[in-house]
Amino acid sequence: MTAIDPEEVAAAAAPDTLGRYLAELARPAGEQTSGPAPSVRTTEHQGQRITVTTTYDVVVDGTPVTAQLHVADSGMLYSPALPYHQFTSALDAVRALMSTYPDHFGGGG
């Protein structure tokens, strides 16, 4: 077993170092950053692999919105913009986003 060097861990966890590392992970080369983000779920059943890809294309008052809605294995929807919230309906999720961030939807309140 290899011992962990506390100085190496501290250097790797320094805000600047960690921030650069995470920024590189966030946008792989050539990957688009706009448009609907797919939510991919996979499982196996009776020896066969199942993949379900769900994409929500959200439009409010004719304007496309990047809502980042994802589906958990349980079927519940969630959004990174609303941590600790789960929804049974995509419409309910968008309503909650609009209420929480009215300036992003042209409402202002």
Higher pLDDT, 56 or 4: 56
The beta-carbon contacts of 60-69 under 8 Å, at least 24 apart in sequence, are 60/94, 60/98, 60/105, 60/106, 61/105, 61/106, 63/106, 65/94, 65/104, 65/105, 66/34, 66/35, 66/36, 66/37, 67/93, 67/94, 67/97, 68/37, 69/39, 69/93, 69/94
> Which residues form the domain of 75?
32-105
Q: Is residue 71, in this structure, part of any structural domain at all?
A: yes
Q: Is residue 18, in this structure, part of any structural domain at all?
A: no
**Number of domains the chain is built from:** 1
pLDDT tens, residue by residue, 72-89: 888 899 998 998 999 999
Higher pLDDT, 80 or 106: 80
Q: Is residue 27, in this structure, part of any structural domain at all?
A: no
Q: Is residue 6, in this structure, part of any structural domain at all?
A: no
Q: Is residue 81, in this structure, part of any structural domain at all?
A: yes
pLDDT tens, residue by residue, 8-61: 878 877 777 767 766 666 555 454 455 677 888 899 999 999 999 988 888 899
